[in-house]
Amino acid sequence: MTASPKPEAQGGQAGIPDRGVLAIDKESGPTSHDVVAVLRRLLGVRRVGHCGTLDPLATGVLIVCFGRYTRLADWIAAGEKEYAATFHLGVDSETGDGEGPLLPREVDEPPGPGRVREALGAFTGPIDQVPPAHSAVKVSGVASYRLARRDRAVELKPRRVHIHRLDLVRYAYPLLEVNVVCSKGTYIRSLAADLGRDLGCGAYVDQLRRRRVGEVGLDSAHTVAAIGDSVAGGAGRLLIPPDRALSHLESVHLDGEAGRLFAHGGCVPAAAGKAQSPCAVYGPHGRLLGIARRGDDGSALVSQCVVGDADG
């Protein structure tokens, strides 16, 4: 872990830094964009963005960046995800969740626990997964769910994702509770539909709660209401240290001169590492400078994103 960063300059509302990372415990109902819009107003900051969409019906950890840290969104979103999910068996859903339409199936005999465990095991590891038609995946520049709502045929290509763990927590047909640890880009709605297809009974996501993104979990998350209540007293105390949000990346520390070169977009020599891999770059006092990619031989840092300066 890196040292805690120095406080940033003041930004929008009094006591709010001009950049930061927040973990929101999203409630069911609002979209991720709804949460961003509310936070933009509460914080008095124009530049706010989320690090990975969470479905409207889902709850749990939604990481949000603001100010210059919005540039970090793609790298933060790359962290491993963990979900607690409840699948409803015996029913298909066009959306993959309870919004439906729901299509009950005739099931002569519900799958037993042994069959369910066997099926879950088949989805562990690297798998090819087709995103749901009702998703934010772009088709010719248009979100897939918009096309699906217009009753237009949507054909999405399979994507390689990785299910690190898929554990059965509780099963009493028709409800199946599982814990999922997976890579970025994994759709739990697709996992439920594919599992239901394999079991021959259909399935959709009845409940979904994201427990963590990388090392940022529910213990660090706050409701939007709590963020609003804390603004007057200085919401800066609720911020997530950037090194924690980026803990899945290699950390590189630069001294003052090298840090200044990096902060100005220069290519900086560094100790050898994995070629082409992304790194979180820190300067003096543990202050985050930005994201770099190692060069072809792994011995130089090429700036990808700059969010701080070495002298600040």
Please confirm, yes or no, whether 55 is among the known catalytic residues: yes
Round the CA-based radius of gyration of the chain to a whole number and report it: 22
Helix (H, G, I), strand (E, B) or coil at 146: helix
Q: Using CA atoms, how far apart are residues 310 and 312, in angstroms rounded to an integer?
A: 6
The three state secondary structure string of 20-62 is EEEEEEECCCCCHHHHHHHHHHHHCCCCEEECCCCCCCCEEEE
Sign, CA dihedral 85-90-91-95, equals positive
Helix (H) or strand (E) holding 202, with range, is none
Catalytic residue among 18, 25, 34, 55: 55
H helices present in the chain, as ranges = 32-43, 73-77, 113-122, 144-149, 188-199, 224-230, 242-245, 256-263
Q: Using CA atoms, how far apart are residues 286 and 289, in angstroms rounded to an integer?
A: 9
**Residues with a known catalytic role:** 55
